[in-house]
């Protein structure tokens, strides 16, 4: 009787032969103190934080079941999947690091979209009408949200664009 290592079987089935194309997400804005800064994570909220740009999140793109849309998974690949998601209600959704997005159900009254991102001309948008906006926070931080334009917002937000910038190649379970 031959015994084969389960780790060998799992690594052979899960690991692709090609590397993943990785991207960093950079803010484009006419506001000098947010322009050309990279998105990073603060707990589960994705935004611009007063930290070194080496902490920028890196993502890789996979296909969505929704035509023309993508999912953006956070790298490095771990045992538990992390992906970017938009979570909110009433026309304003926060860009979030969602743990196990395919198995997560939104709380009552909330909308959760994690497979509706579109990339065109190197810029990231969401499926449907709307735009990215950034709200100032403490210590030179900015929260990034998606709005469909139907919600009333305070006047302190800035319209921004999110640019997907190539960040090299990655592999499953290794740097």
Residue identified by tokens 């194309």 is 21
Half-sphere exposure of 97 (CA within 13 A, CB side): 18
> Considering only CA atoms, which of 82, 164, 169, 75 is closest in space to residue 124?
164
The yes or no reply on domain 18-170 and CATH 1.25.40 is no
Token digits for 102? 């395919």
Can you give the C-alpha Rg of the chain in angstroms?
A: 18
* 119-132 pLDDT tens trace: 999 999 999 889 99
> Please, what is the average pLDDT of the chain?
84
Q: What percent of the chain has pLDDT over 90?
A: 58
Q: Token pair of 154, please? A: 């305070």
Residues 1-6, mean pLDDT to the nearest whole number: 40
Domain ranges across the chain:
18-170
Buried b (16+ CB within 10 A) or exposed e, 16-44: eeeebebbbbbbebeeeebeebbbbbbee
Write out pLDDT tens, residues 83-113: 999 999 879 999 999 998 887 777 778 889 9
The answer to whether residue 16 scores a pLDDT higher than 50 is no
User: For residues 100 and 111, is the Cβ–Cβ distance under 8 A?
Assistant: no
Residue listed under structure tokens 């302190």: 156
- DSSP letters, 137-162, are -STT-EEEEEE-S-S---TT-EEEEE
Supply φ then ψ for residue 97, to 5 degrees.
-85, 105
CA-to-CA separations, 122 to 125, 166, 170, in angstroms, rounded: 10, 9, 19
């Amino acid at each position: 009787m031959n015994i084969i290592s389960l780790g060998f079987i799992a690594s052979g089935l899960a690991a692709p032969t090609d590397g993943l194309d990785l991207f960093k997400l950079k803010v484009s804005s006419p506001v000098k103190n947010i322009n050309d800064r990279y998105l990073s994570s603060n707990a589960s909220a994705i935004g611009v934080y007063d930290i070194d740009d080496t902490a920028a999140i890196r993502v890789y793109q996979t296909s969505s079941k929704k035509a023309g849309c993508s999912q953006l998974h956070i790298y490095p690949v771990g045992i538990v999947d992390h992906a970017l998601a938009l979570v909110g209600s009433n026309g304003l959704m926060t860009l979030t690091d969602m743990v196990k997005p395919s198995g997560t159900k939104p709380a009552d009254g909330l909308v959760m979209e994690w497979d509706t991102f579109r990339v065109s001309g190197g810029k990231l948008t969401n499926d449907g009408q709307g735009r990215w906006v950034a709200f100032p926070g403490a210590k030179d931080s900015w929260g990034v949200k998606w709005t469909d334009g139907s919600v009333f917002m305070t006047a302190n937000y800035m319209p921004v664009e999110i640019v997907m910038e190539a960040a090299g190649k990655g592999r499953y379970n290794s740097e």
